[in-house]
Chain A
């Protein structure tokens, strides 16, 4: 690790640079196909940013080679991460449910779960609070504020 940057982060940086370069070549093809000729086109700006990322990735990689391996996380850190993973899993499940079932149905199922995962006890409290919030937010945003919430694939 060098400059406080781990190997995984160095790879992500270099990867973003590579994505930029691939995007640049695809853009060049499209510009050629559309016969677009501009002095300062959209391709050169993208190329410059990609080069910066690749260069930064290279500098971080060279620095990391010279400094040695990353430290592994402590057991305490892993345990804390497990809680975060559960919350993130619940959140993404919530989004999937909203996408399929619609906002109201998805929230009635997942908001109580989210309160539970955040530590609200006893369970009946998180169920009641979650359902009340789901209904309350639906009325507030859909009916009062006229923000039309997702209906999902089944149109609820």
Chain B
């Protein structure tokens, strides 16, 4: 364990890795601060350009953007009641009231501290758990991988979006899009309908840029708000009991955010809400919540960062991304010829430990950046959308072209931008479509290999102990989603009344 620890930091402290870590953290904070530009959109935008960077640097930078955005997202939530990104919505509830009372500095500090605590716990948990989980992955054959992919897809269909049926349809769409092009085994074209442009299949970069980059810009164009903060920040450090309350809430938020973060489809915004809800329920003075309770800022901020960090473990060990941004990181890994899973730990240990170590160093950098530079981030948040929007679209155009030097990919990017816009407006989970697309090839490969091994008998999929356990988990997830939806419908059927007849 000590050797692992030292090795991780020794490779993470190499100058080039430090540079990319700092770049990713700063970009991530800026992205988090700017309303309307999320980490997924930014990573999608930069994905094509990371192919020109070394693999380590590219992934360290993309990961830095993700956890950096969790730090930055709280800034505008607290200062102007506009969440910088989805996971910081809950922070508005108590963060903005704290700012109105002249305690913006304390709110920003405890948000940064909570994110740091969650990040630290997340990185150490990754260091301890990831190698062991990756070793378990060595015992996985095609049937086990099939259920692992299914678990990921079922999880995202169950937990993302407002209805299980929408999640299933989105996943199925993604799986179908993944079949377009040449079948890798037989070389026969599928769903090309004679169009030569589709023989190579759809480019993952265009899909991401469209669904997350272009769609987000167009959506935010409709919801544009001008945000101005004119108040003072006040003192930075909470005093006495307030500091203790804030730090304890951060620890609780970390636990609440970390464990669900291991599951696909559980967004940081969801765990942030859970953490807030639990703090309020178990508080001795719940009336303080909504009026500027420090726990109402610390807990959700810690939870959302813990969820982001936790998602790294299934990505690294099994190649299953839990959120859209991790899906983009997976695409970046694949573009660099790196397949996540146990093989990655065996063949590229330098890369793996550089990444894990840099996540902790990134968290330290973010704590140092966020506290003294709070005033700077507040000013950056005022950049008008009429400048950001067209710039991002222009970058998406170049980025989607640069992968295969094909205008076809650019058209795809814009078409998926329109699709992504409508999905956002109608609450369809784009992450489910993306996961279906990314995992589709692996799912098909493992299914076909399993059936080849068994001579066509489907029973091979439930023969092994691991297969049975994974299949059981998938079924439990589906049942949990169905029961959750049925309960929601039962309330609406009774006109919004609960069992006691109260509204």
Q: Which of B175, B222, B428, B455 contacts A80 (CB 8 A)?
A: B222
Q: Which residue of A lies closest to B454 (CB)?
A: A39
Q: Chain A interface: which of B72-80, B321-329, B407-415?
A: B407-415
Q: Which residue of A lies closest to B458 (CB)?
A: A40
What is the CA–CA distance of A94 and B397 in the complex, to the nearest angstrom? 10
Q: Which of B179, B190, B390, B426 contacts A115 (CB 8 A)?
A: B390
| B394-419 CB contacts (< 8 Å) to partner A | 394-395, 397-398, 401-402, 405, 407, 410-411, 414, 417-418
Q: Which of B163, B165, B186, B395 contacts A41 (CB 8 A)?
A: B186
Q: Give B448 Cβ to nearest chain A Cβ, in Å.
A: 4
What is the CA–CA distance of A137 and B218 in the complex, to the nearest angstrom? 21
Establish whether residues A31 and B427, one from each chain, have CB atoms under 8 Å apart when the complex forms: no
What is the CA–CA distance of A9 and B188 in the complex, to the nearest angstrom? 31
What is the CA–CA distance of A20 and B185 in the complex, to the nearest angstrom? 19
Kindly supply a per-residue 1/0 record for chain A positions 5-45, scoring 1 wherever the CB is within 8 Å of any chain B CB and 0 otherwise.
11001000100100110010011001100101011111001
Kindly supply a per-residue 1/0 record for chain A positions 60-93, scoring 1 wherever the CB is within 8 Å of any chain B CB and 0 otherwise.
1000000000000000000010011001100110
Known: A45-B179, A56-B169. A30 touches B188 (CB 8 A): yes
A27 cross-chain contacts in B, Cβ below 8 A: 188-190
- Give 27 pairs: A residue, B residue, CB < 8 Å, sorted on A: A6-B426, A9-B428, A31-B186, A34-B188, A36-B186, A39-B452, A40-B450, A41-B186, A50-B176, A56-B169, A59-B165, A60-B165, A83-B222, A84-B218, A84-B222, A88-B218, A88-B418, A95-B410, A95-B411, A107-B394, A115-B387, A119-B385, A120-B386, A133-B391, A137-B395, A147-B398, A148-B405
Q: Give A18 Cβ to nearest chain B Cβ, in Å.
A: 12
Q: Which of A30, A53, A95 contacts B176 (CB 8 A)?
A: A53
What is the CA–CA distance of A147 and B444 in the complex, to the nearest angstrom? 34
> A155 interface residue, CB < 8 Å from B?
no
Known: A4-B162, A84-B218. A13 touches B169 (CB 8 A): yes
The 4 closest A-B pairs by CB, nearest first: A40-B451, A42-B183, A40-B448, A118-B386
A30 cross-chain contacts in B, Cβ below 8 A: 188-189
Q: Using A9-B426, A114-B393 as known contacts, list a sample of 8 further A-B pairs with CB atoms less than 8 Å apart, ordered by residue number in A.
A: A4-B427, A23-B191, A42-B183, A56-B169, A114-B390, A119-B386, A137-B395, A147-B401
> B375 interface residue, CB < 8 Å from A?
no
What is the CA–CA distance of A88 and B179 in the complex, to the nearest angstrom? 28
Establish whether residues A31 and B163, one from each chain, have CB atoms under 8 Å apart when the complex forms: no
Establish whether residues A53 and B169, one from each chain, have CB atoms under 8 Å apart when the complex forms: yes
> B221 interface residue, CB < 8 Å from A?
yes
Known: A53-B173, A53-B176, A145-B52. A31 touches B456 (CB 8 A): no
> B447 interface residue, CB < 8 Å from A?
yes
What is the CA–CA distance of A41 and B185 in the complex, to the nearest angstrom? 9
What is the CA–CA distance of A12 and B268 in the complex, to the nearest angstrom? 30
Kindly supply a per-residue 1/0 record for chain B positions 158-185, scoring 1 wherever the CB is within 8 Å of any chain A CB and 0 otherwise.
0000110110110011011001000101
Q: Give A6 Cβ to nearest chain B Cβ, in Å.
A: 7
Q: Which of B224, B407, B428, B448 contacts A99 (CB 8 A)?
A: B407
Known: A5-B166, A39-B455. A118 touches B448 (CB 8 A): no
Q: Which of A26, A49, A118 contacts B172 (CB 8 A)?
A: A49
Q: Which of B166, B172, B183, B391 contacts A53 (CB 8 A)?
A: B172
Q: Which residues of B contact A (CB under 8 A)?
A: 49, 52, 162-163, 165-166, 168-169, 172-173, 175-176, 179, 183, 185-186, 188-191, 193, 214, 218, 221-222, 224, 385-387, 389-391, 393-395, 397-398, 401-402, 405, 407, 410-411, 414, 417-418, 421, 426-428, 444, 447-448, 450-452, 455-456
A120 cross-chain contacts in B, Cβ below 8 A: 386-387
Known: A91-B393, A118-B221. A56 touches B168 (CB 8 A): yes
Establish whether residues B218 and A3, one from each chain, have CB atoms under 8 Å apart when the complex forms: no
Establish whether residues B421 and A84, one from each chain, have CB atoms under 8 Å apart when the complex forms: yes
Q: Which residue of A lies closest to B406 (CB)?
A: A150
A34 cross-chain contacts in B, Cβ below 8 A: 186, 188
Known: A30-B189, A84-B221, A111-B390. A52 touches B172 (CB 8 A): yes
A98 cross-chain contacts in B, Cβ below 8 A: 397, 407, 410
Establish whether residues A118 and B390, one from each chain, have CB atoms under 8 Å apart when the complex forms: yes
Q: Which of B186, B193, B450, B456 contacts A42 (CB 8 A)?
A: B186
> A156 interface residue, CB < 8 Å from B?
no
What is the CA–CA distance of A42 and B182 in the complex, to the nearest angstrom? 10
What is the CA–CA distance of A31 and B190 in the complex, to the nearest angstrom? 11
Q: Which of A19, A39, A52, A95 contacts B414 (CB 8 A)?
A: A95
Greatest chain A CB density within 10 A among B172, B185, B387 is at B172
B389 cross-chain contacts in A, Cβ below 8 A: 118
> A149 interface residue, CB < 8 Å from B?
yes
A56 cross-chain contacts in B, Cβ below 8 A: 165, 168-169, 172
What is the CA–CA distance of A149 and B394 in the complex, to the nearest angstrom? 12
> A141 interface residue, CB < 8 Å from B?
yes
What is the CA–CA distance of A98 and B405 in the complex, to the nearest angstrom? 13
Known: A56-B165, A56-B172, A91-B414. A137 touches B191 (CB 8 A): no
A130 cross-chain contacts in B, Cβ below 8 A: 390
Establish whether residues A16 and B186, one from each chain, have CB atoms under 8 Å apart when the complex forms: no
